[in-house]
Amino acid sequence: MTSEMSARSGVSSVADMASNTPGLHPRPCPAGAGDHSPYRTAGESAARDLRCNRRLFRGPGPTYLQWVGTARKLSREDKRRRIIDAAVQVFAEKGFFGARVSEIADAAGVADGTIYLYFKSKDDLLVSLFEEKMQGIIENLVAALSEHTKDPEAKIRRYIAEHLRLVADQPALMQVLTIELRQSARFIKEYHPKEFRRYLELLQGILEEGQRQGVFREDLDPLVFRRALFGALDEMSLEWILKNMEGARNDARPKRDPNQVAEVFSDFMIRGLRS
């Protein structure tokens, strides 16, 4: 379960606690500093409302500390996610080197020092961003591929289409994953990206499935193929992202349809794969 889903589930349970407690009628708190941040979520609002209603937690039922413990957990999850989401936008706009931690904190609606309660450095934030966003990408991709249970060619087409659709639908995120990650010395020299390996292993698994079914050529090396196909996708994505950046500066939109590009690219790759 993603952190977003956990947060939503938790917020729901706080609401259930309130509705199931006889005589408890929490009042909303007045707006405070940071309440209008675009990244403020329900967990922090719940924590703030609990502080305002402490006097109501008497007698049987959940104690104030139990409520606050739940709300604080949600608040921490919400705040971490807000920081990561803000970092995507700031890294995309300013570049990894040009981005300042204070700018990310401001966009997330938190104090500068709060960033370091969750991440050791700007590099650590970038690596954590990569891991968490890739987890979500892989979960969505696995769900999409499951729609084509016995058709490896359809899976190749879907894999390619989903990757290129990400570039079109989430340009800021894909700019960070495609360009800005390579600006981090720690990521290049020290980090072993397990989520990226999972992403490539999905592709390798499709090829091996096709070879077992006799659909794809047996003489192809799956390890070489997965790198070759991803390398081609990465190059296409990079070109698209750079054109998007130039288009944004010129107040113009790229004219390529990701579905059409995916279809042309898939046809090319599958012709080379067929037995």
Question: Which tens digit of pLDDT belongs to each residue from 7-48?
Answer: 333 344 444 444 444 444 444 555 554 444 444 445 555 555
CA distance 260 to 61: 59
- The verdict on 137 and 222 lying in the same domain is yes
> CATH number, domain at 82?
1.10.10.60
Candidates 33, 28, 42; CA nearest to 70 is 42
Structural domains in the chain (count): 2
- Which pLDDT value is given to residue 219? 94
Domain enclosing residue 137, as ranges: 121-273
- Contact criterion met (CB below 8 Å) for 11 and 74: yes
CA distance 154 to 143: 14
**Confidence tier at 189 by pLDDT (50, 70, 90):** confident
Residue 23 three-state SS: coil
Separation of first and last alpha carbons in the chain: 39
Average pLDDT over residues 99-121: 94
- The verdict on 13 and 88 lying in the same domain is yes
- The verdict on 155 and 262 lying in the same domain is yes
**Confidence tier at 66 by pLDDT (50, 70, 90):** low
- The verdict on 98 and 141 lying in the same domain is no
- Which pLDDT value is given to residue 76? 77
- Which pLDDT value is given to residue 160? 96
- The verdict on 28 and 112 lying in the same domain is yes
Q: Residue 121 pLDDT more than 50?
A: yes
| Amino acid found at 112 | D
167-199 in b/e form (b: 16+ CB < 10 A) is bbebbbbbbbbbbbbebbeebeeebeeeebeeb
- Contact criterion met (CB below 8 Å) for 70 and 38: no
- Which pLDDT value is given to residue 6? 37
- The verdict on 255 and 131 lying in the same domain is yes
CA distance 132 to 127: 9
Question: Which tens digit of pLDDT belongs to each residue from 155-180?
Answer: 999 999 999 999 989 999 999 999 99
- Which pLDDT value is given to residue 61? 52
- Which pLDDT value is given to residue 176? 94
Centroid of chain to Cα 45: 23
